């Protein structure tokens, strides 16, 4: 439709009719159907520049007759008015697509919050690395337009579900798109952990902790701890020890259908972290049970997305 309006003068000349005839026909023609009818915008509102990009994207979507929702905290902290706002917990029930403007940390929060609704996510990078938010903010409108027109690649990412069990009672539960980490806090002492996989004893280890990472999380904390990089579509998870006392204690990759149980044998100051954003203190005897979550998160990438290009750029492989 937009292209017809642009070429209306030339088309009127060819057809030998007044220009307003062509424009009137354009107005009567139905707009091109978008792949998504309602879009929620969620931003890293601590960054002032993000506000302008959210507004630009909201106006762009409205011009295409797409329903626009702004996440409640994003609208409040960015002082955005004139658009319907939704709590994060309500976005999944009303939006067909969520566009996240921020860094990977923002995307992790949104992915966990919307996991049960299975609406696809698009990430516009306003952070540092952008492994998950891979759309360049300078080309945001062009990339979003292509996605709305159905030009995108879909990638399913697995998450982990963790239960913290104390005296046979579940005292905590949550999800992680990147990793579940059991580690020591401030004390400069090793903690002792016992690891079982699918009911089989694997090892006891004395270390600073253990990372259980999804393929997505293998480019995060796991990478810094010397873990392997797994392609994001692999059905696998990585177990990566953090500074183990025994140097032969190496990272391993296992099937994502496996259940990992980490028991705290001895620790004076230990905790479990989910995506580095949720934390619970642990006591000796506590067990952290980790398994693959039932649902996955769909990330939409612009056409031509290549994971190896992302690795080469972000990790400066040359």
- Asked if residues 33 and 47 have their Cβ atoms less than 8 Å apart, the reply is no
| Active-site choice (104, 134, 179, 286) | 104
104 is catalytic: yes
Residue listed under structure tokens 């905590």: 172
φ, ψ dihedrals at 32, nearest 5°: -60, 130
Nearest to 132 by CA among 97, 183, 178: 178
Q: Phi, psi at residue 63, to the nearest 5°?
A: -65, -25
Residue 136, beta-bridge partner list: 125
Q: Concatenated DSSP letters for the chain?
A: -HHHHHTHHHHHHHHTS-HHHHHHHHHHSPPPPPS-SEEEEEE-TTSHHHHHHHHHHHHHHHHTT-EEEEEHHHHHHHT--SSEEE-HHHHHHH-SEEEEEE-HHHHHHHHHHTTTTT--EEEEE-SSS-SS--EEGGGHHHHHHHHHTT--EEEEEEEEEEEEEETTEEEEEEEESSEEEEEE-SSSS-EEEEEEETTEEEEEEEESEEEEE-TGGGGTHHHHTTPPPPPTT-SEEEEEEES-SSTT---EEEETT--EEEEEEE-SSEEEEETTTEEEEE-TT-EEEEEEEEEEEEEEE-TT--HHHHHHHHTT--
Residues labelled as active-site residues:
104
């Amino acid at each position: 439709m937009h292209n017809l309006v642009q070429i209306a003068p030339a088309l009127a000349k060819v057809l030998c009719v007044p220009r307003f005839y062509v424009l009137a026909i354009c107005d009567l023609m139905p707009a091109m159907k978008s792949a998504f009818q309602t879009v929620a915008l969620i931003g890293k509102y601590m960054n002032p520049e993000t506000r302008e990009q959210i507004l630009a994207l909201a106006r762009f979507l409205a011009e295409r007759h797409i329903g626009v929702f702004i996440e409640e905290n994003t609208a409040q902290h960015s002082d955005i008015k004139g658009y319907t706002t939704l709590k994060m917990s309500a976005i999944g029930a009303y939006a067909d697509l969520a566009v996240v403007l921020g860094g990977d940390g923002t995307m992790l929060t949104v992915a966990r919050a919307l996991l049960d609704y299975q609406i696809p996510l698009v990430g516009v990078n306003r952070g540092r690395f952008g492994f998950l938010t891979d759309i360049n903010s300078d080309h945001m409108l062009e990339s979003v337009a292509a996605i709305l027109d159905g030009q995108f690649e879909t990638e399913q990412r697995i998450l982990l579900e963790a239960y913290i069990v104390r005296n046979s009672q579940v005292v905590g539960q949550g999800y992680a798109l990147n990793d579940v980490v059991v580690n020591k806090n401030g004390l400069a002492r090793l903690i002792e952990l016992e690891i079982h996989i699918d009911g089989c004893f694997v090892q006891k280890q004395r270390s600073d902790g253990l990372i259980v990472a999804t393929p997505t999380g293998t480019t995060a904390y796991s990478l810094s701890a010397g873990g392997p990089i797994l392609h994001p579509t692999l059905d696998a998870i990585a177990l990566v020890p953090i500074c183990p006392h025994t140097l032969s204690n190496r990272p391993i990759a296992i099937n994502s259908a496996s259940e990992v149980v980490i028991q705290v044998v001895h620790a004076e100051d230990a905790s479990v972290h989910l995506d580095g954003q949720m934390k619970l203190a642990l006591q000796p005897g506590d067990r952290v049970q980790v398994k693959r979550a039932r649902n996955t998160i769909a990330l939409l990438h612009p056409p031509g997305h290549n994971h190896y290009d992302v690795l080469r750029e972000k990790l400066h492989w040359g």
